């Protein structure tokens, strides 16, 4: 059983991650985690101290658990850039601060860092209004470039195919062919996937997020810092981790909202997708990194996520996730591992680490901190 610890400042509770029911674990590791959460309240997604919280929390958890593999996500610069109007200088400074936090972590621990930037950001030029189609258009989970389309009329397809800001419309069969989908996975894939041109995003009736100022750019390649290795694609990173951990303690670090233009360390341009599809900073990109396989089909962009939300849904604190993804690197790593990041849900669902600490925030609303203990047999 994976144990969840929720911390809302001066109040904590332990729950079963899968069921959400109260748990009373009498395990030393739970007390270690609770103490870490007490010492490090989360300041908020766009607070200047958000990335510092990642470093401080990770260092504290390392002191109590002594892992050999660490997964970190620094995302404050992504949230701030996406929703706050910034000058080029201001954006450069917030990215530089993120790298300073990473350097502070490396200096304090001596870990070897494998660093992945999720891609450059570009100003939002406009929204493609898909709320009036005869069919159903669905945007999911922070996506800007992609939206699903269901049961469109011929007029819908004609209108959208001629829209100057729509790059293309891809049928389900082509998506399944590209990613090798199974019949079971096909059930989640939208009938069509609409793709916006660079700088544009879709407006749909399912979109509940605040309108962004900047969105992911055309990131067919992203920067990867891998000392002694030259990856060609994100799927190569898992093997690099395995090789590096033979001789070193390793930190896999995700720098959200940072692409080739702004990445401050030596890096290799690395493939970030397949053919016409590139990953935005989402679960598919993270899972592709942590499993060494393209994982777009686990929760495909534009799927009807609302059809899977009901009172019987398991993993109530894990957002749209309905199960713990299989095949992640840390879940199979025999040594100790932790994950810490200011990207809610992702740390405990896509990293596979023994202990995961993250912000408990939804749509930028800060509700505290959350930890998940997947393994307690390595202490």
Model confidence over 154-179: pLDDT tens digits? 999 999 999 999 999 999 999 999 99
Q: What is the pLDDT of residue 208?
A: 60
* Confidence band, pLDDT 50/70/90 cuts, at residue 305: confident
Report the range of poorest mean pLDDT among 204-208, 278-282, 375-379: 204-208
Question: Which is higher by pLDDT, 310 or 129?
Answer: 129
Task: Quote the percentage of the chain above a pLDDT of 70.
Answer: 97
pTM above 0.75, yes or no: yes
* Confidence band, pLDDT 50/70/90 cuts, at residue 278: very high
Q: What is the pLDDT of residue 85?
A: 93
C-alpha to C-alpha distance for 222 and 202, rounded to whole angstroms: 23
Q: Residues 72, 341: contact at Cβ < 8 Å?
A: yes
Q: What is the pLDDT of residue 241?
A: 97
C-alpha to C-alpha distance for 234 and 281, rounded to whole angstroms: 13
* CATH architecture of the domain with residue range 125-210: 2-Layer Sandwich (3.30)
Res. 206: pLDDT tops 80: no
For every residue of 293-359, DSSP letters joined together read S--TTTS-TT--GGGG-STT-S-TTSTT--SPPS--HHHH-SS-EEEEESSTTHHHHHS--SEEEEE
Q: Give whichever of 20-24, 33-37, 308-312 has the largest mean pLDDT.
A: 33-37
CA torsion 241-345-339-325 (nearest 10°) is: -40
Q: Residues 61, 340: contact at Cβ < 8 Å?
A: yes
* Confidence band, pLDDT 50/70/90 cuts, at residue 211: confident
Provide the residue ranges of all domains of the chain, joining segments of one domain with +. Answer: 3-122+215-373, 125-210
Q: Which residues pair with 251 in a beta bridge?
A: 70, 113
The structure tokens listed for 35 are 């103490």
Express each pLDDT in 79-100 by its tens digit: 999 999 999 999 999 999 999 9
Task: Quote the percentage of the chain above a pLDDT of 90.
Answer: 83
Mean pLDDT of 21-43: 91
Express each pLDDT in 313-342 by its tens digit: 899 889 889 899 999 999 999 999 999 999
Q: What is the pLDDT of residue 379?
A: 81
Q: What is the pLDDT of residue 365?
A: 64
Q: What is the pLDDT of residue 363?
A: 62
Express each pLDDT in 219-242 by its tens digit: 999 999 999 999 999 999 999 999
C-alpha to C-alpha distance for 343 and 320, rounded to whole angstroms: 14
Question: Which is higher by pLDDT, 258 or 364?
Answer: 258
């Amino acid at each position: 059983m994976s144990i969840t610890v929720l911390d809302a400042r001066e109040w904590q509770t332990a729950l079963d991650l899968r069921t959400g029911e109260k748990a009373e674990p009498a395990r030393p590791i739970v007390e270690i985690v609770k103490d870490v959460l007490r010492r490090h309240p989360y300041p908020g997604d766009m607070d200047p101290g958000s990335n510092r919280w990642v470093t401080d929390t990770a260092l504290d958890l390392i002191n109590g658990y002594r892992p050999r593999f660490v997964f970190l996500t620094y995302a404050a610069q992504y949230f701030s850039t996406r929703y706050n109007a910034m000058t080029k200088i201001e954006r450069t400074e917030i990215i530089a601060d993120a790298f300073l936090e990473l350097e502070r972590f490396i200096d304090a621990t001596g870990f070897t860092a494998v660093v992945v930037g999720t891609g450059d950001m570009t100003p939002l030029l406009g929204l493609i209004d898909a709320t009036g189609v005869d069919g159903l258009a669905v945007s999911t989970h922070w996506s800007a470039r992609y939206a699903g389309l269901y049961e469109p009329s011929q007029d819908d397809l004609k209108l959208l195919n001629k829209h100057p800001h729509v790059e293309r419309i891809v049928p389900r069969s082509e998506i399944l062919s590209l990613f090798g989908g199974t019949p079971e996975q096909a059930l989640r894939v939208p009938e069509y996937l609409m793709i916006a041109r660079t700088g544009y995003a879709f407006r749909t009736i399912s979109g509940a997020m605040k309108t962004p100022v900047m969105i992911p750019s055309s990131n067919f390649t992203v920067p990867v810092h891998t000392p002694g290795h030259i990856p060609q694609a994100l799927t190569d990173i898992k093997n690099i981790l395995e090789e590096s951990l033979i001789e070193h303690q390793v930190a896999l670090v995700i720098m959200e909202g940072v692409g080739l233009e702004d990445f401050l360390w030596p890096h290799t341009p690395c493939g970030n997708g397949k053919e016409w599809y590139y990953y935005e900073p989402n679960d598919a990109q993270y899972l592709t990194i942590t499993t060494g396989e393209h994982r777009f089909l686990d929760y495909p962009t534009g799927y009807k996520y609302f059809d899977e939300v009901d009172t019987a849904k398991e993993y109530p604190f894990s957002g749209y996730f309905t199960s713990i993804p299989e095949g992640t690197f840390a879940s199979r790593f025999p040594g100790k591992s932790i994950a810490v990041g200011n990207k809610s849900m992702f740390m405990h669902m896509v990293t596979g680490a023994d202990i995961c600490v993250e912000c408990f925030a939804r749509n930028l609303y800060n509700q505290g901190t959350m930890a998940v203990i997947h393994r307690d047999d390595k202490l």
